[in-house]
Amino acid sequence: MDWSEKSVLVTGGTGSFGQRFVEKVLKECCPRRLIVFSRDELKQHEMRQVFGGGTAGSPLRYFIGDVRDRERLYRAFDGVDIVVHAAALKQVPACEYNPFEAVKTNVIGAQNVIDAAIDRGVRRVMFISTDKAVNPVNLYGATKLCAEKMFVQANAYSGGKGTRFAVCRYGNVVGSRGSVIPLFAAQREKGVITVTDRRMTRFWITLDQGVGFVLDCLERMEGGEIFVPKIPSMRVMDLAEVLAPGCRIEYIGIRPGEKLHEVLLSEDEARHAVSLGDRYVILPLHPWWDTGHWADGKRLPEGFRYSSDQNEAWLSRDDLRALVEKEGFLAATTGGRV
């Protein structure tokens, strides 16, 4: 795909993913136009100080808007070839306490993106999902599951118009806002960190890896797939030891809506998924789907389940140390050593 001829828009463009996406796309893809769509004018101003844009000769544009606002999306998508939908309310406790708001943004907002993309003739749309969407136990995960279903089935709505939709689903992102790394980094200053359960495991991916995976899937998508990267797991106790060595650990119990282990691919989904290199591809079960797609993929064995506690790949403490050091969460208090 020739990115230099493409106009690209990312919703939630001022978030952790959005900012790294903008950085990588500007550096490696050189699109004709790259639009940051978000509702936070301050963050857009701060991004402008770093990346520039909004001036003659620059491909970068900034659109104030909310995915809840259908008319604004129709305006923003005019002339756009590729949309990456990353906007969401994602804090689990906030979504539990404000369920109507979570549904308006994560579900109704997804419908607005789909409708605007079809009617404006966008060619490819990628939805950024999460492991929380698999067998969800909280509202955030439930809204993401609902949005996944909508984006897969949106290919039937687009019909012969040519708009194609797919999904990228991956696990916890190293150092993203609201994740456990900045929490531990802040707590260690007081000498006490909180852990919900010492047995807890999580999938782990860096922002760079996540963005790179999304870009590659945009290149390869046919429409209707859910792409799942093969990524390592980590133990929360290993992370605690790396980030806060010597700190007292207070065990507070699993919070409402939280899982002991995460799942990226359920047993039910595995029955219509394939393994292909560095990823799994969940294939849609709909009559409009051409079953010849991804014929090179290897079918998964009966009962297969891709969960963080049964993963074949694990991050050691040295691996975790290298990751969090690269993201700048060790240098502030340990000089990069623990």
Q: What is the pTM of this model?
A: 0.92
β-partners of residue 275 are: 280, 298
The CA distance from 129 to 336, in Å, is 32
Residue tagged 């993913």 (tokens): 17
pLDDT at 126: 98
pLDDT at 20: 95
302 token code pair = 């009966």
Domains delineated in the chain: 3-171+205-230+264-305 (3.40.50.720)
194 token code pair = 């909180």
pLDDT at 175: 65
The CA distance from 131 to 145, in Å, is 9
Chain centre distance of CA 92: 15
20 token code pair = 């790294």
Chain centre distance of CA 289: 25
- Please write the tens of the pLDDT for every residue from 163-202: 999 999 998 887 666 678 888 888 888 899 999 999 999 9
User: What HEC string does 95-152 produce?
Assistant: HHHCHHHHHHHHHHHHHHHHHHHHHHCCCEEEEEEEHHHCCCCCHHHHHHHHHHHHHH
Active site residues: 132
277 token code pair = 């290199």
Name the pairing type of β-strands 273-276 and 279-282. antiparallel
271 token code pair = 């029955």
Check if the beta carbon of residue 17 is closer than 8 Å to that of residue 86.
yes
The CA distance from 242 to 245, in Å, is 6
pLDDT at 185: 83
- Please write the tens of the pLDDT for every residue from 217-247: 999 999 999 999 999 999 999 999 998 898 9
β-partners of residue 99 are: none
The CA distance from 85 to 67, in Å, is 9
pLDDT at 157: 93
Quick one: which of 57, 62, 65, 64 has its CA closest to 32?
A: 57
Q: What DSSP character marks residue 301?
A: P
CA 100 vs CA 96, 103, 295: distances in Å: 9, 5, 41
pLDDT-flagged residues of the chain (< 70): 175-178, 329-338
The CA distance from 325 to 33, in Å, is 34
Quick one: which of 35, 51, 31, 25 has its CA closest to 211?
A: 25
CA atoms within 13 A on the CB side of 38: 25
